[in-house]
Amino acid sequence: MQKAQFGMIGLGTMGRNLVLNMADHGIAVCGYDRNTDQQKRLLEEGKDKPVQTAATMQAFVESLETPRRIMMLVPAGKIVDAVIDEIKPFLQAGDILIDGGNSHFTDTDARIARLQDTGIHFTGMGVSGGEDGARLGPSMMPGGNKDGYAELKNILEKIAAQTDEGPCVTFVGNGSAGHYTKMVHNGIEYAIMQLISEVYAILKNVGGCDNDQLHQVFTNWNDGALQSFLVEITAKVFLQPDDVDATKRLVDVILDRAAQKGTGMWTSESALELHIPTPAIDEAVAARDLSAYKKEREIIDGFTPTTVITAIDKEQLIQVLHDALYFGMAVSYIQGLHLLQTASDTYKYEINMAEVARIWKGGCIIRSVMLNDIRKAYVNNATLKNLLLNKTFYALLEEKRNALVTALKTGMDNKIGMPVLSSSLNYFDMFSTGRSGSNLIQAQRDFFGAHTYERIDKEGNFHTNWN
């Protein structure tokens, strides 16, 4: 049988769909999975396509042309290391091994170091787009080294999502840059999802919008400045009937307890380590944690009388929430990209921020029309540390600040929690305040702990005997 150009280990939903995507583009692929049912399913779905499977790991490796290009799509953690241990004896210098799962970036660094003396190129690659993205064109964020990427470039560019500015894949940067970038992508995703849920709660509980109206609101929003994958699918969610009772909409019978897999938390942890403020992401993670306390929330809800809903013009409310959501989404990108730029500087990733914005424009979960303005800002200033320093981008948010304030007042008057919307305003206001109240904190620290302080009129560190 003809040698395959690419190998895939792990033929679950993502792995199988990526294989079929490659096959559609004429790329010969060999798949391997210990679960033979997964192999059979691939062969069935890949009938009449250049797809094959292998019975053993050794046979799998031997089925590939050299240099071998192999992707692992297996659960992050110990399983990745187990697969590396199993396949390593059959590989040789120049082969490329890709981890396409959501591995923590520090694990990727460790694996690169572990394989460095073997000459095997280890690529940590973030893949975004879910099942449909894998099948029809994902956004991919490979990191590692340029030599390894050179052997993957042609294949990855063929299967990636395509936009007016090219395929949604690029060499993101050195070492674990790919997995770090995907982690930040997921942190931004957490924040935007929470923002949408907060806006939904106000539209439903204050605006009195039913599911058909909510569908129309989000559909209209998706035709303008809020055009994005998450707004698009939100509009569709409201029309989905319940499988159990077709007279109901599915969204109304889904338990309000949000799960998470940890990538949002990883983003917050890294931001804290690098001293980069990402409160929108932090609050989104905390909101999911808080949602888990369903029983306790119901008990406490019974302590208080029914909330009186403040009357408000529905059309005005919809416009206010449109601008508030725009503001919050922009702040989510700002915080995530500030973190990514700082991580690039700290860990020597050498990430091109304009390229990251470009490859996020298609295929991925956080794709949106807003990324056009974000990319433009980085093209005009490749060393931009924070998007708020771009006057055009800052002006877009300043223009919508009053709408966010109105949205927050409306939510607070009606006892609706808005952790990410409110933190977005606080972030914007604090970041655009030249003289804050933090001087008092420095005075307090020096008072009780002799930690010293700096002055505005001379250089150096100073201490006062406050007593």
Three-state SS for 199? helix
What is d(CA 383, CA 385) in angstroms, rounded to the nearest whole number? 6
What is d(CA 385, CA 407) in angstroms, rounded to the nearest whole number? 29
Cα 209 from chain centre: 29
Cα 135 from chain centre: 19
Q: Which residue has the tokens 């190998």?
A: 7
| Residue 460 token pair | 């150096």
Q: What is the DSSP letter of 70?
A: E
- The string of DSSP codes covering 117-138 is GGTPEEEEEEEESHHHHHHH--
Element (H, E) at 283: helix 279-291
Active-site amino acid positions: 182, 189
Q: What is the DSSP letter of 242?
A: P
Contact criterion met (CB below 8 Å) for 55 and 35:
no
For residue 308, give every residue at least 6 positions away whose Cβ sits within 8 Å of its Cβ, in sequence order, or none.
414
Distances (CA, A) of 168 to 102, 137, 164, 228, 240: 18, 8, 10, 16, 30
* Rounded to 5°, angle at Cα 140 from 137 and 142: 150
| Residue 280 token pair | 């929108």
